[in-house]
Amino acid sequence: MSSSVVEKKKMACVTGGNGYIASALIKMLLENGYAVKTTVRNPDDMSKNSHLKNLKALGHLEVLRADLDQEGSFDEAVAGCHYAFLVAAPKDVIEPAVRGTLNVMRSCARARTLRRVILTSSSAGVYIRPELPQQGDDDDGHVVLDEDSWSDVEYLRAEKPPLWWAYCVSKVLLEKAACRFAEEHGISLVTICPVVTVGEAPAPVVNTSVPLCLSFLTGNEALLAALKGIEKTSGGVQLVHVDDLCRAELFVAEEAAAAGRYICCSLNTTVVEIARFLARKYPQYGVETNLSTDDDEQLLEKPRVSLSSAKLVGEGFEFKYKTLDEIYGDVVRRVRQGTGNSALLI
């Protein structure tokens, strides 16, 4: 494709192109007529990047080398772009996550063509607060959280709850640091806070969320325990399909009035509800639905805490995948057919 044709297209940068969400976002952007530049740490590593070569068949895709730890390494990737989707982030490390985010934000500040930066954070930065209803509480109170809720960093640092406490802290701190930087430099910044994300994506290795949600089918006890841990920590299991997440990212990028944070959640459910659905839908897997054992604290019949996407929906976005059947459908079919990514069976 000639440079003149590329210049006429809307151009987007997506950081961390070998990641699960980023790969799905790149695919959607290309299908929507965008020219895309994406970054990876090592473009020559085909074990992580082979899908990017395949995605080039959909449109103009340029793969660039960049590292969150290297100042200025994102300058080339952001230059000339109308939108920058910040998806890459170190996991479970607090200072590098904040430092890496600000590194990319400084590149965005130097770019003259950017209309908006879209930061992918996490609902982990929303729901971990000690005053929320806990499993075992006597009352039946139900709490709905929106974008005004932030996970309690001081509580997380003091108590260090076992489930990814450093990851949760990093999401709060990097999000707030990015917001301060954007305000200081006049950058239009919108943040998406996705929940547990399910669905097929081009990346050869998927993130933890998909294997977690398939743990009932694969029999991976450690991942099933982690899914139960999410419910204990967050008061439920909050789900979104990866296609809906990518559509939401594109929506808040292009919607002129979009501002601030957006929770991206299409279904608030529980471990018990997921188990019953899978047992009914796929009886051949022998999914265990009697989940109350001595090792388990009380599992929830209904969520005690729900995350609301009312802000996103109120501004015109509509989720396509709203039920467990719709959210799980394509991934389960791929596993059954043996055509899914091997990482789904971790």
Instruction: State the pLDDT at residue 8.
Output: 66
Q: What is the pLDDT of residue 209?
A: 85
Does the domain formed by 11-337 have CATH 3.40.50.720?
yes
Picking from 75-79, 136-140, 199-203, 341-345, which range would have the lowest pLDDT averaged per residue? 341-345
| Domains of the chain, residue spans | 11-337
pLDDT, greater one: 204 or 109: 109
Nearest CA to 164 out of 132, 191, 196, 136 is that of 196
Q: What is the mean pLDDT of the chain?
A: 88
Q: Is the pLDDT higher at 277 or at 7?
A: 277
Q: What is the pLDDT of residues 212-222, one digit of tens each?
A: 999 998 888 99
Mean pLDDT across the stretch 64-71? 94
Q: Is the pLDDT of residue 78 over 90?
A: yes
Closest CA to 14 of 110, 84, 98: 84
- How is residue 56 written in tokens? 């080039």
Measured over the CA atoms of residue 209, residue 212, residue 217 and residue 220, the dihedral's sign is: positive
Give the pLDDT band (50/70/90) at residue 334: low
Q: Where are the beta strands (DSSP E) in the chain?
A: 11-14, 35-40, 61-65, 83-86, 116-120, 143-145, 189-194, 196-198, 237-241, 260-264, 267-269, 305-307
Q: Which of 44-48, 278-282, 312-316 has the highest mean pLDDT?
A: 312-316
Q: Using one digit for the tens of pLDDT, what is the confidence trace for 232-260? A: 889 999 999 999 999 999 999 999 999 99
What is the per-residue pLDDT for 320?
97
pLDDT, one tens digit per residue, over 266-283 is: 999 999 999 999 999 988
